[in-house]
Structure 1
Amino acid sequence: MNLRQSFKFPNLDAFFGTSPSALFSPGPSLASSTPIARMAQYVSPTPPIAGLARSSLALGLLLTVLFTPVDQLFFRSQSVPAGTLCGGVAGDLSLFCMSQPHDSPAAKIIAVVILVAVVVGLLPGLTTWLHAWVAWSFQISSPIPDGGDQVGAMVATWLCILYFADTRLTHWSYRSTPPIQPVRSMIRYSGSSLLILQTAVIYGHAFIAKLSVPEWTNATSLWYWIQHPAFRPPQFITEILSFISSSWIGTIGLNYGTLVLEASLMLVFLMPRRAAAIVAVIAVVFHIGIALTFGLWSFFCSMLCVVILGIIVPHTNRLALEAKFANSTKNHDPRITQNGG
């Protein structure tokens, strides 16, 4: 496949690996019996929409590294005079500990080059490993990492499995190289399973942790957040949220609605396909709202990746398998109908 074909943007069906509207059709949950062997033999686990998730994850860290001054990324303090946490085997392997002093531009330049390559989608079989190295380096070495960085480092690790031995030039390519290698694909599908589990753990942790916070249980948390000077949103958003919070219905809806959504995302792998797709859409809108309100765009990029890889892609892969078997039955193709299991 030449370079022009690799960067050719696919139509929506090819981008998702199936018809997007089929996501909202009735279907089983991800927890039901999954024909992994058949999927590994006939369906690529990484359609182009998985590439979008991968690009989004890298973009979040790229924005952080590119537009945050080094003295803020690696804040010097009495406890961390060098600005970077370096020590032990993990610290010694960190990209940001290999170049000293901490404000040397070399590590930042290397990180930016790697992350740009991931965002563009180049050589996913190679750059997933480099992306994981940069993500974990930042997570280990930064004295003030946030939740988005922690999520990004973990998900970048599972991406190494999901894109294991991927030989495509870019992750936007939607023509899987025939024949699909079952053993390699089985390994990659294990990465998909880990991402489903990771999604449940992330949202489960967020939901359960909030239950022990009085402000969340009494539905006043959002009011305190929008009043906090460090997190106060833009004036027009503050006015909108203040208006909604002025009624008990709005206050309960915003606060308890967040808890219900996170509980739903924790259990989304148990939901039928249509319900899971609806929850996924609501989750994306929810995270856009958080980004607009509190300016957490790098966190949005990480969570968009989680929603796509933990909910949408596993369902599109199942739909693609269903479509293949439906077509094989209609065309009486014994290669699939007899060897699929």
Structure 2
Amino acid sequence: MADRPASALDRALSRFDPRTPWFGWGRTLIATAHLITLALTPTAALLHPLLNEAPYPHCQKALAVSAYCVGGEAVSQEWRRWIMVALLAVVASGYRPRWTVWIHAWLLYSIGVSIALPDGGEAIARIAGLLLIPMGMADDRRWHWQRPATPIGPTARGTAFAAFWALRIQLVILYVQSGVSKFGVPDWLNGSAEYYILRDPIFGAAEPFTTPALWLSEHGLTLGLLTWGGIIIELVIAAFLLGPERWRKAAFGLDVLLHASIVATIGLWSFSLIMIGCAAVAAAPDRTPLADSSRTPPQRKEPRKWQTRSSNAAKATSAGAPGSTVPL
């Protein structure tokens, strides 16, 4: 009785294991988001100089460790771009998460602080990249798609559990802030915000969803649902991420719905993939079974002593050993 966990926290910690397929999918989606950005965006566009600022990348002080700065002028920015694409492909593949979480965090930092116009997705990914390190350090698998084969140690379990909760709380704060801040904007309060967003000349609805999106936003009922639906979903996601496993999975489903809608209407592929990837890690189940944990290898039975003696006697008799007799 004394050995039983004394609290809900003890019970949650005792069954926690970060090495789940959700962790793997989350890492892959976050890495894929930046891989697509780097592969499909010219270097000149990412490092385009801004008004009244020095040319990018900025490499002073802590920024000097960025992948855009290490090596100085000896390495061209175009070469750096494709090296980062290759490294992100390795991360996305799921190979050796214990080591590639460090590479991933470095690349996320580099992109976030070195390109000229990072968006909210880059800022979120930088934080997520750091919080994935303790979870990745607890992961001894060759591929993050495999089921773990060994138990997790208490120190690794504790640090990974703390990082898991830190990521969940970060997402909760983000979605609460995003939802509540809209209450201070008249267009969101009166339900008309999506009308103007979908018609924005830069971030407006894109093909092939332009026609249906514009049609829906021309009617008061559907426009109100589009506008207030986003706010409600954000707040529900935040609440569910604090709940038990089944609530977190529901939050993940709503997160996919929300960001798929954003992609379908105004694009923002990279941002949406990052958010879905973070939500996947935050919605991971509390535990994952070890590989073949339900199977035990068949044990070879030792022959009984009388069987061994009989067997030896038979062998001696058949070989005609001295003193042996042949039974009638």
The two structures have a TM-score, normalised by structure 1, of: 0.77
AA of the residue aligned to 2:203? F
Structure 2 contact 18–139 (Cα < 8 Å) conserved: no
Higher helix proportion: 1
- State the distance in 1 between where 2:254 and 2:139 align: 32
- State the distance in 1 between where 2:146 and 2:129 align: 20
Shift of 1:241: 1.9
Instruction: Provide the aligned C-alpha RMSD in A.
Output: 2.5
1:211-250 equivalent positions in 2, closer than 5 A: 211-250=183-222
Structure 2 contact 141–148 (Cα < 8 Å) conserved: no
Shift of 1:287: 0.7
Shift of 1:94: 1.1
The structure with the larger Rg is: 2
Shift of 1:175: 2.6
Shift of 1:140: 0.9
Residue 219 of structure 1 aligns to a residue whose secondary structure is coil
- Structure 1 residues 144 and 99: alpha-carbon distance in aligned structure 2, compared to 1, 3 A threshold: farther
Residue 82 of structure 1 aligns to a residue whose secondary structure is coil
Q: Does 1:194 align with 2:163?
A: no
- Structure 1 residues 34 and 162: alpha-carbon distance in aligned structure 2, compared to 1, 3 A threshold: farther
- State the distance in 1 between where 2:82 and 2:51 align: 27
Structure 2 contact 131–163 (Cα < 8 Å) conserved: yes
Structure 1 contact 128–160 (Cα < 8 Å) conserved: yes
Q: Which residue of 2 aligns with 1:317?
A: 286
Aligned counterpart in structure 1 of residue 102 of structure 2, from 129, 142, 153: 129
- State the distance in 2 between where 1:317 and 1:266 align: 18
Residue 69 of structure 2 aligns to a residue whose secondary structure is helix
Per mean C-alpha deviation after superposition, the further-off stretch among 210-219 and 284-293 is 210-219
The two structures have a TM-score, normalised by structure 2, of: 0.79
Shift of 1:319: 8.5
- State the distance in 1 between where 2:217 and 2:261 align: 16
Q: Which residue of 1 aligns with 2:28?
A: 55
Deviations 1:268-311 (A, max 9, x none): 2344654543332122022111112222111121011121122x
Q: Does 1:106 align with 2:79?
A: yes
Gaps in structure 2 of 5+ consecutive residues: 1-5, 295-328
Q: Which residue of 2 aligns with 1:18?
A: none
Residue 148 of structure 2 aligns to a residue whose secondary structure is coil
Q: Does 1:260 align with 2:229?
A: no
AA of the residue aligned to 2:286? N
Structure 2 contact 19–148 (Cα < 8 Å) conserved: no
Shift of 1:243: 2.0
Structure 2 contact 21–144 (Cα < 8 Å) conserved: yes
Shift of 1:38: 4.6
- Structure 1 residues 168 and 272: alpha-carbon distance in aligned structure 2, compared to 1, 3 A threshold: closer
Q: Does 1:295 align with 2:295?
A: no
Shift of 1:184: 1.3
- Structure 1 residues 320 and 219: alpha-carbon distance in aligned structure 2, compared to 1, 3 A threshold: farther
Q: Which residue of 1 aligns with 2:3?
A: none
Q: Which residue of 2 aligns with 1:208?
A: 180
Aligned counterpart in structure 1 of residue 59 of structure 2, from 83, 86, 102: 86
Residue 97 of structure 1 aligns to a residue whose secondary structure is coil
Q: Does 1:95 align with 2:95?
A: no
Structure 1 contact 121–171 (Cα < 8 Å) conserved: yes
Shift of 1:148: 1.0
Residue 163 of structure 1 aligns to a residue whose secondary structure is helix
Gaps in structure 1 of 5+ consecutive residues: 1-32, 328-341
- Structure 1 residues 235 and 107: alpha-carbon distance in aligned structure 2, compared to 1, 3 A threshold: closer
Shift of 1:153: 1.0
AA of the residue aligned to 1:129? W
Residue 95 of structure 1 aligns to a residue whose secondary structure is coil
- State the distance in 1 between where 2:98 and 2:229 align: 39
Structure 1 contact 41–181 (Cα < 8 Å) conserved: no
Q: How many residues align?
A: 286
Residue 267 of structure 1 aligns to a residue whose secondary structure is helix
Q: Which has the higher contact order (CA 8 A, sep 6+)?
A: 1
Structure 1 contact 40–183 (Cα < 8 Å) conserved: no
Shift of 1:211: 2.1
AA of the residue aligned to 2:155? V
AA of the residue aligned to 1:110? I
- State the distance in 2 between where 1:66 and 1:319 align: 34
Q: Does 1:151 align with 2:124?
A: yes
Q: Does 1:284 align with 2:256?
A: yes
User: Could you tell me the percent identity over the aligned residues?
Assistant: 26
Shift of 1:57: 0.5
Deviations 1:255-279 (A, max 9, x none): 0111111111222234465454333
- State the distance in 1 between where 2:28 and 2:169 align: 21
- State the distance in 1 between where 2:7 and 2:145 align: 26
- State the distance in 1 between where 2:32 and 2:254 align: 22
Shift of 1:104: 2.2
